[in-house]
């Protein structure tokens, strides 16, 4: 059962902080940004701050722009490539066959 003491756990002089203690807040602008999924984000900026051209959407992570009808395209993500995929980009099948034949010849003691 509660004792009814409303200030229990408070320190002396503690009270709600207001504008008088913090000072006046800077004037703000709320700018709308839209991503390609149609999510709207409205971050606030100081009125004298430079507003960026794009903003990351907090819901999906895609870039968002200020034009609702023409949002920025989502970035192309390259799939993970294995070591073998990088080797295949550098070498042709004929090169691979030649290297394999040379390695097998070394193992067999022919070279």
The answer to whether the annotation marks 35 as part of a ligand binding site is: yes
> 33: buried, middle or exposed (CB in 10 Å: 19+, 13-18, 0-12)?
buried
Cβ atoms of 15 and 1 within 8 Å: the answer is no
Residue 34, number of CB atoms within 10 A of its CB? 20
Nearest to 55 by CA among 28, 76, 30, 78: 30
The answer to whether the annotation marks 39 as part of a ligand binding site is: yes
What gap in Å lies between CA 105 and CA 95, rounded to an integer? 15
The answer to whether the annotation marks 92 as part of a ligand binding site is: no
The answer to whether the annotation marks 60 as part of a ligand binding site is: yes
The annotated binding site for Zn(2+) is made up of 35, 39, 57, 60
The annotated binding site is made up of 35, 39, 57, 60
């Amino acid at each position: 059962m509660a004792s009814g003491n409303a200030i229990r756990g408070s320190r002396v002089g503690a009270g709600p902080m207001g504008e008088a203690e913090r000072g006046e807040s800077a004037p703000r602008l709320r700018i709308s940004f839209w991503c390609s999924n149609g999510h709207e984000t409205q971050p606030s900026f100081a009125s004298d701050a430079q507003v960026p051209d794009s903003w990351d959407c907090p819901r999906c992570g895609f870039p968002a722009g200020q034009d609702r009808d023409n949002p920025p395209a989502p970035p192309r993500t390259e799939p993970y490539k294995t070591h073998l995929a990088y080797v295949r980009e550098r070498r042709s099948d004929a090169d691979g066959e030649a290297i394999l034949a040379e390695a097998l010849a070394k193992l067999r003691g022919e070279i």
